[in-house]
Structure 1
Amino acid sequence: MRQVHEWFLRRGLPLVLTRRVRSRALVERSAPTVSGTGAAIAATMMLAELTNDDPGWGIVIRLAVLTLLLIAAPFALYALHRADTTRSAAGRRSAALLVMALFVFGLPFAASGFTGIAAAEALVFAVVAVVAIWLTYIGFGSIALWAFRFASVQFGALGTLMSRALPLLMITVVVYFTGELWQLAARATRQRLWETIGFLALVALLFMVTTIRDEVRALREDRAEQNDPAKLLADTPLATPAGHQPVRTPLSLAEQVNVVAVMVVSQAIQVIFFTAGLFAFFLALGIVAIPHDVAVLWSSEQTCAIGQPPCPGTWFGVDVPVPQTVVHVSLFVAVLSGLYFTVSTSVDPLYRERFFDPLIADVAVSLAGRDAYLERETADP
């Protein structure tokens, strides 16, 4: 069954596993996350102490030792896990508890000494440790790792994605050369621009969740008539005999959230890649095709000084060799295009054939495996 559990985790569906499985060795599995977080915090506190005018070398030494211990902890836990013996299991449990103790009590008392402040900080670190354990229980790491793997695959397909969007690109180019849009972008602050982008992103997210939820519901209703579980689960740890139909049970709320989240993340990665590519394209177009005097005219003379080109742009506080208005217009048009693309991926047959239908087929395999897995768990509790 370990291969079955790992199969679901690799597919980003940890909430399909039973609570008993997800609760197994929970402290041991969450210890690497806690140790990594603790090592980052300890290193930051040590550097902050070193940059003081009068650093406390005792505090620096204690924090340095804690940083090294917390960095080494995941490797020790992995070695104990590889041994897979009764003694190593007990050692792994003891090591995990030691990591938790170092994180909750070691960090605050090493930095602040045995004071009331350290006790209050220990309570905060305890809450952080509990949150890390809860994230491990719901399988946040599995979903995140799946997202990163899928992102690497989608990055290679970005060229194909952009080429399929040429009709949309022609429409947005026309919108890009609109003087009213440039006036709006020139007068909008970066904060208001991000608020607008956040609103559009929320609309796109709600659309994706609604559409994908309907797709999952239709998949559960039609899968028995359209697909054979034996073919879907061939060459997997959950392979079933030909002609056998595992009992289909309704998805729990947690399972529905997990399946929808996996599909939303996959589609969101496509939209982010698409939007980032369009943003780079429009930046280059603004630099090449729009002279400074035209940009000043369209933006109603939003310049740094009379007779000078438009103000230089910034990106997260870093100056870039592009006028600020060009940055704003390019970002706004790219996000609008991303919202349009989000709708197109669900209704356009070409987009569905290239990107959405394979995702649906992959989820069909996962749901077939889920039914077979629950049938095995019921037969052998």
Structure 2
Amino acid sequence: MAKDKQRHSLPIKEVERWFLREGMPFVVRNMRKHPVLARSLPALMFFLGGVLGYIVVSVSWRWSPPYRGLSAAQASVRMAEDDGYQLTGLGVATVTAIGAALLFLWLRTGRRYLRSRTAGITGAVITLSTPPLLEGLLNWSWSDAREDLVIGAALVLVIYAFTRAGIGSLVHWSFWHLVPHLGNLGRLVTRAVPLLLLLVTFLFINTENWQMSGNLDRPRLWGIAWFFIVIIALFLCVRLPEELKKLRVEITPDSVRAACAGTELGKLAEQLPDEDLQFDRHPMKLGERLNVLLIAFVSQGMQIALLGLLVFLFFVTFGAIAIKDSVAEAWVGHPLTEGTFFTIPIPIDGISNELIQVSIVMAAFSALYFAVYAVNDASYREQFFEEILEELQKVLLARECYLRLLEVDGPQSPEGWTKLAEVTQRS
């Protein structure tokens, strides 16, 4: 009984939540205390809020005068061709999705039952059942309802897998570490982009490129984009482990205190004497090694994606300004079509479907070039990986303290941790 009280007096659960926020879920030893479905509830509420917002717009449009007298099938076809409906639906769905996720995060603060396994299962069931149920009741289309159920189930599985792997936390972690270091990225871009733009701008105004890219159907276009993404991913998977071999974790009292500062372990580490902060390393499991690799992969991937997005926007803007519709029509061999992105119309003059497709191909090629250049550029590699390695060293040192906390009741536990647990229990 005394051992249970001693263990409960230590901030193990709070430390485990910190590791989850840092994108290191495989470090946590007892995931039963942190149900995956419960942790995925913000993402599920985001999806559910977006669906409900889009349904509200659909119902409002369906009962407006132009569509009121039409059958459900006819109204759906007409609404799909209505740019106002598409843009309104996208805008409302985005607002309601973000609002639902933020509202849930606010409600979950201080309410432990919203972090429970029961809450996670309930949220998943609601997310699965609400869209098909509303589809069936509003449109009496149970075949569409079954389709919505299958899509919802697939989405829940994807969200579950991403939450278990800590992808959301990794993206959040990478984003907030990318913002302060945009200067380093900018210096690399100023070296890599001039030569890159010379090459891709020549390709951009090439007739054969427009004939190939502009005449692709969208599934094949996205297939090409994914081909480049897979090549980039394979390249990073080969090169990143070589850089991570430089990672060394030196366990000293000062390094442990510095790594734990700002976490739930910080107070404990500060109160322990130096001799209790010198202990042997715990061997890393395969999942933890993959977790470390994933952090570097996501961080590098976000920088590559940012550059690809900038190149895409550059060529869309450049094409809309510099290339007349008559010239583009001569290149592609047919009249230009209205620009759409994921079926959402872009109501801007000069931005055609063909221009968007050529820009996507150019952005994908540029991202591949940047990935190769970044990993082979010595100064950027030194700056980028020094920062990543420094952050990973802190996380891995905190991991050593966390694993030592779990051994408080064991025979190899340092006396200092046990004494501190007793002091914490009495206070």
TM-score (norm 2): 0.62
2:256 is aligned, of 226, 230, 236, to 230
Structure 2 counterpart of 1:58: none
Alignment CA distance shift 1:81-1:93 (3 Å): farther
Alignment partner of 1:365 is 2:401: no
Q: Deviations over 1:27-76 (max 9, x none)?
A: 54444544444444445445545526489xxxxxxxxxxxx9xx889858
In 1, Cα distance between equivalents of 2:240 and 2:123: 40
Change (3 A) 1:76 1:36: closer
Do the aligned partners of 2:27 and 2:288 also contact (CA within 8 Å) in 1?
yes
Equivalent residue number for residue 185 of structure 2: 161
Deviation at 1:359, TM superposition (A): 1.5
Per the alignment, residue 16 of structure 1 pairs with 27
Q: Deviations over 1:325-354 (max 9, x none)?
A: 766665544443332221232232221244
Distance 2:174 2:285 in 1: 22
C-alpha separation in 2, matches of 1:73 and 1:178: 44
Q: How does 1:240-259 map to 2 (within 5 A)?
A: 240=269, 242=274, 244-259=277-292
Q: Does 1:215 align with 2:239?
A: no
* Separation in structure 2 between the aligned mates of residue 277 and residue 147 of structure 1, nearest angstrom: 18
Equivalent residue in structure 2 for 1:347, among 354, 376, 401: 376
Code of the residue aligned with 1:203 in structure 2: it is I
Shift of 1:279: 3.7
- Residue in 2 aligned with 1:375? 404
Match of 1:197 in 2: 225
Which residue in 1 is equivalent to 2:416? none
The C-alpha deviation readout for 1:288-314, integer Å capped at 9, x for no partner, is 7x6769x95xx8942678xxxx95883
The 1:183/1:245 distance shift into structure 2, 3 A limit, reads farther
Percent of paired sites with the same residue: 24
Q: Shift of the alpha carbon at 1:233?
A: 1.5
Match of 1:263 in 2: 296
What does residue 415 of structure 2 align with?
A: none
Take 2:406 and 2:186, find their aligned partners in 1: how far apart are those partners? 45
Aligned equivalents of 1:164, 1:185: Cα separation in 2: 28
Shift of 1:168: 3.0
Residues in 2 aligned to 1:135 and 1:169: alpha-carbon distance in whole angstroms = 33
- Cα pair 2:260 2:394 within 8 Å, conserved: no
Q: Look up the equivalent residue of 2:256 and give its one-letter code.
A: A
Task: Report the alpha carbon displacement of residue 24 of structure 1 after superposing the two structures with TM.
Answer: 3.5
Matched-pair contact (CA < 8 Å) for 1:346–1:352: yes
The code of the aligned residue for 2:26 comes to L
Confirm or deny: 8 A CA contact 1:22 1:137 kept in the other structure.
no
> Alpha carbons of 1:103 and 1:263: their partners in 2 closer, same or farther (altered >3 Å)?
same
When residues 76 and 177 of structure 1 are mapped into structure 2, their CA distance, relative to the original with a 3 A threshold, is closer
- Give the conservation status (yes or no) of the 8 Å contact 2:204–2:362: no
- Closer, same or farther in 2 for the Cα pair 1:379/1:79, shift >3 Å? same
Q: 5 Å matches for 1:1-381?
A: 1-18=12-29, 20-25=30-35, 28-45=38-55, 47-49=57-59, 51=62, 53=68, 79=107, 82=110, 89=113, 99=123, 102-103=126-127, 108=132, 112=136, 124=150, 135-150=162-177, 152-153=179-180, 157=182, 161-176=185-200, 178=202, 182-188=206-212, 189-191=215-217, 193-219=221-247, 222-224=248-250, 229-230=255-256, 232-235=258-261, 236-238=263-265, 240=269, 242=274, 244-282=277-315, 296=327, 301-302=330-331, 311=336, 314=339, 316=341, 318=346, 320-321=349-350, 331-380=360-409
Q: Which has the higher contact order (CA 8 A, sep 6+)?
A: 2
Q: Which SS does the other structure have where 1:369 is aligned?
A: helix
In the TM superposition, residue 361 of structure 1 has moved relative to its aligned partner by 1.4
Shift of 1:362: 0.9
- Amino acid of the structure 1 residue aligned with 2:226: G
CA distance in 2: counterparts of 1:285 and 1:76, whole angstroms: 42
- DSSP-derived class of the 2:280 partner: coil
Post-superposition shift, 1:133? 5.2
Structure 1 pair 248/128, CA: closer, same or farther in 2 (3 Å)? same
Distance 1:269 1:72 in 2: 26
Aligned residue for 1:256, secondary structure, equals helix
Show structure 2 runs of 5+ residues with no match.
1-11, 71-95, 411-427
Q: Equivalent residue for 1:63?
A: none
The whole-number CA distance in structure 2 between the counterparts of 1:201 and 1:94 is 38
Compare 135-144 and 341-350 and name the one that shifted more. Answer: 135-144
Preserved contact between residue 81 and residue 92 of structure 1 (Cα < 8 Å) = no
Amino acid in the other structure paired with 1:355: F
Change (3 A) 1:346 1:227: farther
Distance 1:131 1:169 in 2: 35
The 1-side partners of 2:372 and 2:159 are apart by 35
Deviation string 1:147-176 (CA, Å, 9 cap, x unpaired) is 44345556xx2x653443334333234424
What TM-score comes out, normalization by structure 1 length? 0.68
Equivalent AA in structure 1 for residue 379 of structure 2: L
Aligned partner of 1:61 in structure 2 is none
Following superposition, the deviation at residue 90 of structure 1 comes to 9.9
Deviation at 1:103, TM superposition (A): 4.5
- Contact 1:271–1:338 (Cα < 8 Å) also in 2: yes
User: Kindly tell me: are residues 379 and 41 of structure 1, through their superposed partners in 2, closer, same or farther at Cα, counting changes over 3 Å?
Assistant: same
**Distance 1:107-1:324 versus aligned 2 partners, 3 A rule:** closer
Structure 1 residues 253, 301: closer, same or farther in 2, change over 3 A?
same
